[in-house]
Chain A
Amino acid sequence: MTTTTTKLDSLAAPRLPAGWLLLLALLATLPAWPAPIGTEFHLELGVQVLSMVIFALSLQLLVGYTGLVSLGHAAYFGIAAYAVTLLAPASEAGNGWWLLVVAVGSAALLALLVGMLVIRTRGVYFIMVTLAFAQLAYFVVHDVDGFGGSDGAYLYFKPEFRLGERLLFDLQQPRQLYWFALGLFALTASLLGLVLRSRAGHALVGIRHNEQRMRAAGYPTALYKLGSFVLSGGLAGLAGFLHAVRSGFVNPELLSWHQSGNALLMIILGGLGNLWGAVLGAASFVLLSEWFQAMSKHWQLLLGGFIIGTVLLLPRGLVGLADMLRPWLRGRLRPRRGKPTVLGFQHKERTS
C-alpha cells in the first residue's frame, strides 16, 4: 500500500513550484523586453497563448488525471465567452468581477448538467456523448435568436475590474491585459496544483488507474468524476472569458468540435497526465500555427508533419522530450541527487 501511495504521490502534482515560478517570472518580464520581442503584437499573441494554455490545463485535469476523454470541452469555453459578450452592457464597460463570476459560473453550471448525464458512460462512448452535447450547444448558439447566429456578437467595451473606486487593471492597455492574463494563468495552475496534491486529486488519479478498486476502497467515484468534470468546465470557462475579453468578438466556431479537438491535441502533443504537458502543448500548438502561417500558405502541411513526427518519435509527447534531455543536462551541469529539478514530475529517481 505504501508503494502505491508514493507512486500516486509522484504522479499527482509537481512537488516543487520552482519551475512554475521561474516561468511566471520570465513571462512577466515580456513587456519590458526591447523592440523585436516586447512589442504589442507579441503581448497580444501572449494573451492568446495564455487563454489556450488555461483551456488546455482545464482539459488536462479531466483527460490526463481523471482519465475522462472529453471531445466537447469547447462548449464550456464558448458558453463563458458568450456569457461575457451578451451580458456586458452595450454602451459602457461592464463590471469585470460580476462578468467573470457569471462566465465561469455558467460554464460550471453547464458542465454540471452535462456531467450528471454523461458520467456513467465510458471510453469512446464518453468521448462521443460529450461531443453530442457540445454539438447541441453549438446548434443552440448558432440557430436560436439572440445569440447573433453564425455571425456571432461583439464585446464593444472590455470589462473593468474595480476595487472600490480604484481601477485595478485597464484591460484596454495591452500590457495590463497581458499581466491580467498571466495572473489568471497563475491562478489556474496553482488551483490545479493544489487540487492534485489534495486527497481528492489523488483519488482522481486513482480512478484513472483503476476505478473499480477505488470504488471498492470506499470512494464515491461518480461524485469525484463529476467534481473533476465541473471544475474542468469552470476553468475552461475562465479561458473562454479571457478569450472574449481579448478578441472582443464571439462566434459559434468557439463551440465547434474543431475547438474541442484542438484542445485535446494540445494536451496529447504536450504529454498527458502532466500540467507542464498542457502548457508546452498549448504554447507550441498556437505559436507553431502562427509561425507556419507566416512562413507559407500551406502551413497546415508543416503543422501536420510536426504532429505526425511527434507521435512517431515521442510517444509521451513533448514532455517526454524534456525527460530525455534532463539526464543529459544533469550530466552537463553539476550532478544533483534527490529532489527532482525544474520539470520534476512523474519522475523516476535516476542514479546518474
Chain B
Amino acid sequence: MDAITFLIQCLNSLQYGLLLFLIASGLTLIFGIMGVINLAHGSFYMIGAYMAFTLSSLTGSFGLALLLGIPLAVLLGYLLEWAFFSFLYERDHLQQVLLTYGLILVFEELRSLLVGDEVHGVSPPDWLSGSLPLGHDMSYPVYRLFISAVCLVVAGLMWWVITRTRLGMKVRAGSVNREMVQSLGINIALLYRLVFAAGVAFAVLAGMISAPVASVYPGMGGQVLIVCFVVVVIGGIGSIKGALVAALLVGFVDTFGKVALQQAAGALVYLLMAAILLWKPEGLFKASQG
C-alpha cells in the first residue's frame, strides 16, 4: 500500500467513522439521558435517506432537500416521543426493546407503502460532485469530504450546547435526577422531547447526507443499527466523547480490515468489541466524563 492509497483509506475511514458518530450520538444521547433503548434508531437513518431521495426529486435540489428535511425530522422526533416513547420511561428496558422493534416493522412497511421497495440513487449537488486530485493518478471525491465536514460541525455544535449552554446544563442535570430537576421548576417532559427530537434529527441528517454515496435501499436501517450499537457500547453508554472515539475506531478497523483481510472483514468489528468489553466491561468512557 503506497502513501496515496493509505491517505485515501484514512479519509474513507474518517468519513465512515464520523457518519457512524452522527447516528450513534443520537442513540447514546437517548439512552444516556432518557434511559431508553431505541432499536428504531436505524429506521430514522433509513427514513433520512428516503427523505433525501423524495425531497430532492420533488424540489430538484439536494441542498433544498437537506434544508427541508431537518425541520421535518425534528417534528417527527417530537411527535414520536409524544405518542410512544413518553410512556416508556418507567418501563423495563425489554419493554422498550419490544416497542421499538414494533416501530421498525411499522416504519419499514410505511416506507414500502409510500415510496416503494426499489433501490434508488441520489446525485450530489453540482458544486460538490467534483473530485480532488491526489498524487498522479488518484483522486478523492469532494462529496465525501463534505460529509466529514458536516459531521464535524454537528459534533462541535453538540459539544458546545451540552457543555457550554444553560440548556445543556439542564439536560445533563435531567440525566442524573429527573425528579430533582422537575422540582426546580424545569419542564423535564419538554426537555426530553427536545433531546429525543435532536437524536432523531441527527440520524435523519446522517441518512440524508449519506444517500449520495450509499444507495438508498430497504433494510438499510437494520445494518447500520447494529454497528451503531457496537459503537455506543465500545464508547461507554451515554458518553458522547466515547461515541466519537469508538466510531472512529470502528471506522478505521472496518475500512482497513476490508483492505487487508477480506475473509474476516465482517467479523473484525465484533472481535474488537468483544476484546474491548472483556478488557473494560463498561466501555472506554464513563457517561459522567462527558
Binding site for B on A (CB under 8 A): 63, 69, 117, 120-122, 124-125, 128-129, 131-133, 135-136, 139-140, 142-144, 257-258, 261, 264-265, 268-269, 272, 298, 300-301, 303-308, 310-312, 315
Contacts and interface: CB of A to CB of B under 8 A. Distances in A.
A115 B222 CA distance: 26
Contacts of A69: 94
Contacts of A63: 94
Contact of A312 (B87, B277, B282): B87
Shortest beta-carbon contacts, A-B, top 8: A304-B105, A307-B102, A139-B267, A301-B109, A304-B106, A308-B102, A311-B99, A135-B270
30 contacts: A63-B94, A117-B278, A121-B277, A121-B281, A125-B277, A128-B233, A129-B273, A129-B277, A129-B278, A131-B270, A132-B270, A135-B266, A135-B270, A136-B274, A139-B267, A143-B264, A144-B263, A265-B101, A268-B94, A268-B95, A298-B113, A300-B106, A300-B108, A303-B102, A305-B102, A306-B102, A308-B84, A311-B98, A312-B84, A315-B91
A63 B93 CA distance: 12
B83 to A, nearest CB: 10
A298 B230 contact: no
B277 A128 contact: yes
B232 to A, nearest CB: 9
A73 to B, nearest CB: 14
Contacts of A305: 102, 106
Interface of B: 37, 84, 87, 91, 93-95, 97-99, 101-106, 108-110, 112-113, 222, 226, 229-230, 233, 237, 263-264, 266-267, 270-271, 273-274, 277-278, 281-283
A53 to B, nearest CB: 18
Nearest to B87: A312
A261 B266 contact: no
Contacts of A311: 95, 98-99, 102
Nearest to B278: A117
A267 to B, nearest CB: 9
Contacts of B108: 300
B271 A136 contact: yes
Given A124-B237, A128-B229, A315-B91, A143 B267 contact: yes
Given A63-B94, A143-B264, 6 more contacts: A124-B37, A125-B283, A304-B105, A305-B102, A306-B102, A308-B106
Given A124-B93, A298-B112, A301-B105, A143 B281 contact: no
A149 to B, nearest CB: 11
A303 B99 contact: no
Contacts, number: 114
A298 B112 CA distance: 8
A268 B230 contact: no
A125 B233 CA distance: 7
B106 A143 contact: no
Given A301-B110, A305-B106, A132 B274 contact: yes
A129 B112 CA distance: 33
Given A124-B237, A139-B264, A307 B109 contact: no
A63 B92 CA distance: 13
Contacts of B222: 258
Interface centre among B104, B105, B229, by most chain A C-beta atoms within 10 angstroms, is B105
A272 B94 contact: yes
Contact of A307 (B99, B230, B266): B99
A129 B229 CA distance: 11
A337 to B, nearest CB: 32
B85 to A, nearest CB: 11
Contacts of B98: 265, 268-269, 307, 310-311
A127 to B, nearest CB: 9
Given A128-B273, A304-B103, A311-B102, A140 B94 contact: no
Nearest to B236: A125
Contacts of B99: 307-308, 311-312
B277 A135 contact: no
